[in-house]
């Protein structure tokens, strides 16, 4: 691991041990708030983000902080995404965390000029760190990792259909899904990206692509030799506000899905 990787891991572990895991399966009803339809926040999210932001500001003081909960409180925080910035998802998979079951984790990215330069995904239940640095590859717990397809025929596809419009869902289910084995999406990008790299899933299709959910994961998949791009083949930018993305274990799987989506008339929502 690099020195920065070790510092980030120490910070994530500390926040997980002090703030997140003591609340796992122990949240009171008053500690879970619905920010919007099907969008929860807990006291642990808020406290963890503050602690992570404080720690990250010491590591790279010149980088602005863009946290999911800070953006919810003040949408103008998103304006910081085009410069040097830390991007924080204090608990990715909050719904899983709040329910006391399923996968959740901490996601952090360091971005510059709209592109992720480094990313970290920490799974506190496994004590596992996925990390990536632009142009330097991807690692899991310090060991280099390469994305690999599952070998399943048809390929395994995870689709976050709850974020699709009714028309997108109809086109996807009728004309695209029959070409794949649909697998359960874990409800957390912090789990979905490693599943694609590790050969459990071959492809994932995303509609909502918020920076705290995807900056670290998309870089991790690309640096592992997979392909994570917009449907038109352009790279993911944290500051463009666009929707729609495909993450695949290799370029061939990516291209096949995009051809099928295009033929079905599936387009990202505006």
Three-class DSSP labels, the chain: CCHHHHHHHHHHHHHHHHHHHHHCCCCCHHHEEEEECCEEEEHHHHHHHHHHHHHHHHHCCCCEEEEHHHHHHCHHHHHHHHCCEEEEEEEECHHHHHHCCCCCEEEEEEEECCEEEEEEEEECCCCEEEEEECCCEEEECCEECCCCCCCCCCCEEEECHHHCCHHHHHHHHHHHHHHCEEECCCCCHHHHHHHHHCCCCCEEEECCCCHHHHHHHHHHHHHCCCEEECCCCCCCCCCCCCCCEEEECCHHHHHHHHHHHHHCCCCCCC
Q: How confident is the model at residue 269 (pLDDT cuts 50, 70, 90)?
A: confident
Delimit the domains of the chain by residue range. Answer: 3-144, 156-263
Say whether domain 3-144 belongs to CATH 3.30.1360.200: no
Q: Has residue 214 got a pLDDT over 90?
A: yes
Q: Which residue has the higher pLDDT, 227 or 268?
A: 227
Taken in order 214, 215, 219, 220, the sign of the CA dihedral is negative
The predicted pLDDT at position 36 comes to 75
pLDDT for position 88: 98
Mean pLDDT across the chain: 96
pLDDT of 147 reads 98
The mean per-residue pLDDT over the stretch 210-225 comes to 98
Whole-model pTM: value is: 0.95
Phi, psi of 136 (to 5 degrees): -120, 5
pLDDT for position 170: 96
Task: Identify the band that residue 248 occupies on the pLDDT scale cut at 50, 70 and 90.
Answer: very high
Tokens in use for 250? 């290799």
pLDDT value of position 94: 95
Between residues 270 and 31, which one has the greater pLDDT?
31
Average pLDDT over residues 27-37: 87
More confident residue, 39 or 192: 192
Task: Calculate mean pLDDT across residues 198-208.
Answer: 97
User: Percent of the chain at pLDDT above 70?
Assistant: 100
pLDDT digits (tens, 9 = 90+) for 113-163: 999 999 999 999 999 999 999 999 999 999 999 999 999 999 999 998 989
CATH architecture of 156-263: 3-Layer(aba) Sandwich (3.40)
For the segment 101-112, the average pLDDT, to the nearest whole number, is: 97
pLDDT at 39 over 90: no
Is 80 exceeded by the pLDDT of residue 37? no
Instruction: Output the pLDDT for position 62.
Output: 96
């Amino acid at each position: 691991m690099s020195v920065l990787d070790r510092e980030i891991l120490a910070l994530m572990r500390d926040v997980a041990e002090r703030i997140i895991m003591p609340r796992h399966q122990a949240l009171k009803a008053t500690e879970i708030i619905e920010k919007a339809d099907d969008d929860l926040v807990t006291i642990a999210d808020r406290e963890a983000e503050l602690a992570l932001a404080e720690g990250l500001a010491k590591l790279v003081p010149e980088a602005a902080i863009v946290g999911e909960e800070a953006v919810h409180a003040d949408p103008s925080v998103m304006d910081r995404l085009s410069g040097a910035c830390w991007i924080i998802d204090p608990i990715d998979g909050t719904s899983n965390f709040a329910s006391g079951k399923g996968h959740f984790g901490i996601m952090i990215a360091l971005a510059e000029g709209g592109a992720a330069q480094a990313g970290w995904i920490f799974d506190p239940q496994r004590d596992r760190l996925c990390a990536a640095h632009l142009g330097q590859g991807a690692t899991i717990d310090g060991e280099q990792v390469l994305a690999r397809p599952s070998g399943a025929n048809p390929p395994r596809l995870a689709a976050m259909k709850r974020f699709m419009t009714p028309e997108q869902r109809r086109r996807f289910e009728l004309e695209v899904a029959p070409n794949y084995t649909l697998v359960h999406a874990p409800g957390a990008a912090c789990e979905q990206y490693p599943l694609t790299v590790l050969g459990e899933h071959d492809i994932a299709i995303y509609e909502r692509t918020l920076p705290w959910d995807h900056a670290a994961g998309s870089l991790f998949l690309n640096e592992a030799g997979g392909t994570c791009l917009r449907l038109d083949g352009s790279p993911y930018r944290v500051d463009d506000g666009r929707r729609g993305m495909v993450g695949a274990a290799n370029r061939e799987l990516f291209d096949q899905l995009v051809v099928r989506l295009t033929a079905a008339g599936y387009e990202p929502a505006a």
